[in-house]
Amino acid sequence: MISQKDRELLEKQHYAVIGNHSASKMCSWTKKSIKNEGVCYKEKFYGIKSHRCCQMTPCLACTNSCLFCWRNVTQNTSSGWKDEWKADDPEFIIEECIKSQKKLISGLGGLKETNKTKFREAQEPMNFAISLTGEPTLYPKLSGLIRSLHKKGKTTFLVTNGLFPEVIKNLEMPTQLYISLDAPNEEIYTKIDNSLIDDAWSRLNKTLSLLKNLKTRTAIRLTLVKKLNMCNPKDYGILIDRASPMFVEVKGFMNLGCSRSRLKWEQMPTFQEVKEFAKSLEKYSSYKIRDEQEASRVVLMMRKGFMERKLTVQSIK
């Protein structure tokens, strides 16, 4: 799946390329947490530990070329898993992810600002954020990967573009399932996601219709880009209420990586603009603002009936 040129480029960007189609990369919040410089919004919102989180993907290919994506979308874009791609074993991917995580954080061990307890704990990641890049539902052994991680006592946060509803329907459920909702309607979706799949909007809506019946915690994530998809809150509200996830994350686009060649710096919304958009969603949906983290420009919303629940990893299980 990955050419030598692409592999070298990813490694230059501090990715650890694993096997035929996977990768991991140390999240900046993992590094910050180990150095007592703050934690990821997922720790603040849901209770996972930033210093023990492994950010990875079991598939570097993706069906979409989203404008706001930080990856080089001209590489590894595919409408599906190709027959010639060899699917690596889930156990191999997990073992190599843990090895690469240890290697990636090894340089922090000798720093005076490093929290030694966190550094020791970080050697064994306990949450796998299956959301680094690419589209994980393309990987044909994804259920086996999630099942194996759970057997090892680890939690899983899976992010998908939602274009494979049959995969989602039959999937071993992760601890928390995210669906990316990048637009309020098909016209804007086509412009921003640049999918190779002709009926992508229809597929996404089929996935959204599954959420209310899935036996796990579910979330819809909005990545807001000014002058592109930061509009039509009423239409977003209709889609969100129809899907009825437990959570909605309203997050601002960050002008990072290759997205800088496609979008302008000015299209990054401020935290206050993100918050104002979340407030407009309150008017057009049954969701209310529950929490926020300014550093990540993200607001958490919940259905009214779940507002008083304790949000911890323990409450997930």
**In sequence order, what DSSP letters do the residues of 135-149 get, joined into one string?**
-GGGSTTHHHHHHHH
- C-alpha 130: how far from chain center: 7
Cα(239)–Cα(287) distance, integer angstroms: 12
Please check the confidence at residue 317 and state whether its pLDDT lies above 50: no
Nearest of 301, 297, 302 to residue 278 by alpha carbon: 301
Q: What is the pLDDT of residues 60-86, one digit of tens each?
A: 999 998 887 766 645 567 778 888 889
**Buried b / exposed e along 203-213 (16+ C-beta atoms within 10 A):** bbbbbbebbee
For residue 21, what are its two tokens?
Answer: 């189609």
pLDDT grade for 253, boundaries at 50, 70 and 90 = confident
Pairing of the two strands 298-303 and 22-24: unpaired
Full DSSP string of 9-50: HHHHTT-EEETTTEEE---HHHHHHHTTS---HHHHHH---G
Quickly count helices (H) and strands (E) in the chain: 12, 10
The residue with greater pLDDT, 267 or 231, is 231
Which of 88-102, 148-162, 163-177, 259-273 is predicted least confidently? 259-273
Nearest of 317, 225, 209 to residue 277 by alpha carbon: 225
pLDDT value, residue 4: 82
Q: What is the pLDDT of residues 133-184, one digit of tens each?
A: 899 999 999 999 999 999 999 999 999 999 999 999 999 999 999 999 999 9
Instruction: Report the pLDDT averaged over residues 311-316.
Output: 51
Q: What is the pLDDT of residues 284-302, one digit of tens each?
A: 999 999 999 999 999 999 9
Cα(238)–Cα(11) distance, integer angstroms: 42
Full DSSP string of 163-184: --HHHHHTSPPPSEEEEE---S
Give Cα separations from 222 to 111, 146, 238, 310 (angstroms). 37, 24, 14, 23
Q: What are phi and psi of 73, to 5 degrees?
A: -75, -5
Per CATH, the architecture of 4-316 is what? Alpha-Beta Barrel (3.20)
Please check the confidence at residue 311 and state whether its pLDDT lies above 70: no
Cα(203)–Cα(201) distance, integer angstroms: 5
pLDDT grade for 312, boundaries at 50, 70 and 90 = low
pLDDT value, residue 25: 93
Cα(151)–Cα(1) distance, integer angstroms: 29
The residue with greater pLDDT, 255 or 30, is 30
- Ranges assigned E (strand) in 36-148: 53-57, 127-130
Domain boundaries, the chain: 4-316
Q: What are phi and psi of 208, to 5 degrees?
A: -60, -35
* 231 DSSP 8-state letter: -
Cα(311)–Cα(290) distance, integer angstroms: 11
Average confidence score pLDDT of the chain: 91
Global confidence as pTM: 0.92
Instruction: Report the pLDDT averaged over residues 107-119.
Output: 95
Instruction: Report the pLDDT averaged over residues 212-226.
Output: 96
Instruction: Report the pLDDT averaged over residues 225-251.
Output: 96
| Exposed/middle/buried for residue 111 (C-beta within 10 Å: 0-12, 13-18, 19+) | exposed
Cα(130)–Cα(94) distance, integer angstroms: 11
